[in-house]
Homo-oligomer: A and B are copies of this chain.
Amino acid sequence: RIMRPDDANVVGNVHGGTILKMIEEAGAIISTRHCNSEGGEPCVAALARVERTDFLSPMCIGEVANVSAEITYTSRHSVEVQVNVMSENILTGAKKVTNKATLWYVPLSLKNVNKVLEVPPIQYARKEQEDEGKKRYEEQKLDRLETKQRNGDVIFPVINPEPHTVGYSQSSLIHLVGPSDCTLLGFVHGGVTMKLMDEVAGIVAARHCKTNIVTASVDAINFHEKIKKGSVITISGRMTFTSNKSMEIEVFVDADPFVDEPRERYRAVSAFFTYVSLSKEGKPLPVPQLLTETEDEKRRFEEGKGRYLQTKAKRQAQMQQAAQP
């Protein structure tokens, strides 16, 4: 794919959300194909979860995205897909890894969207691959249960907020789900939702630091609830934590079926996005500290700090491991 000007922010990088959408489309194609490969009841693979994703280097307009996807594990009812994105400057031939993502899909019957089908098992080259996959499967299962309980929070508007407070940068947008947002089953593509979430998170980050910003990473996202065609979705974001050079933004997606179902508005997805602020030369800039006011804001700041330190420690451990002989 060639990146077009409409996928870019003002300075010229491609939005993280556009990359997430591409990744999800590749994952949906490969897992839908796999789940239909042995005949049986036709199905569409629906995104259940995306693992934490780091954006290693920005992608610019005019570069071609090379997306490759591989099925790395199958449980009875789910498929793990690894997607790698490389950016290639076709004029110079230079290539860079943009990011690597792990996604989980679940096959839903084309005739009955509430029926989860069985996944044909894959063959592993080595026994350890299956064991490691099983370990990842169990870990994500636990984590999904946890976020399901956390999902009750709501963002309220603030009148005349002070600069650098939570209320000052919080943002939301509303989107009416049209046919081009949806899969064959009539539900929103996970990638479409992630693109909108990144859009809101980017507005929050830009309002806070008033500079050019880019997505640095996205924490694991769980898709607990499907969103149907014709629904209205509200995507809201608020800043939860700032380090010296990064901002963490929590994003909620609430769906309101409101036309042909008697169902109340519900929380469909939530996630944490991390952004950094960049100078025109692409160097990271210091970020103004987030001013927390209420007890809840202070608690969320501390929780964000915990996630930040944990990620930092994990990355250092990986680097040390990589440096060992």
Contacts and interface: CB of A to CB of B under 8 A. Distances in A.
Interface of A: 1-2, 4-6, 8-10, 25-26, 28-29, 32-33, 36, 39, 42-44, 61-62, 64, 67, 90-93, 110, 171, 173-174, 176, 178-180, 182, 184, 199, 202-203, 206-207, 210-211, 229-230, 232, 256, 258-260, 262
A211 B62 CA distance: 12
Contacts of A44: 259
A164 to B, nearest CB: 12
A186 B188 CA distance: 18
B210 A32 contact: no
Contacts of A232: 29, 33
Given A2-B203, A6-B4, A25 B176 contact: yes
Contacts of A62: 9-10
A9 B2 CA distance: 9
A208 to B, nearest CB: 9
A180 B230 CA distance: 12
B256 A33 contact: yes
Residue of A32, A67, A259 most packed against chain B (CB within 10 A): A259
A180 B182 CA distance: 11
A210 B90 contact: yes
B110 A29 contact: no
Given A29-B232, A36-B258, 18 more contacts: A2-B199, A2-B203, A5-B5, A29-B176, A32-B259, A33-B256, A36-B259, A42-B259, A43-B259, A44-B259, A64-B203, A90-B207, A91-B206, A91-B211, A178-B179, A178-B180, A179-B179, A184-B260
Contact of A42 (B176, B202, B260): B260
17 contacts: A2-B199, A2-B202, A4-B6, A5-B5, A5-B6, A5-B8, A28-B176, A42-B260, A64-B171, A64-B203, A67-B174, A91-B211, A178-B179, A178-B180, A179-B180, A184-B229, A184-B230
B39 A262 contact: yes
A93 B32 CA distance: 45
Contacts of A25: 176
Residue of A43, A178, A229 most packed against chain B (CB within 10 A): A178
Contacts of A203: 2, 64, 90
A110 to B, nearest CB: 6
Q: Which 6 A-B pairs have the closest CB atoms?
A: A6-B6, A180-B180, A90-B206, A179-B179, A184-B230, A5-B5
A32 B180 contact: no
Nearest to A179: B179
A42 to B, nearest CB: 5
Contacts of A178: 179-180
A92 B10 CA distance: 14
Contacts of A93: 207, 210
Contacts of A28: 176
Contact of A92 (B202, B210, B258): B210
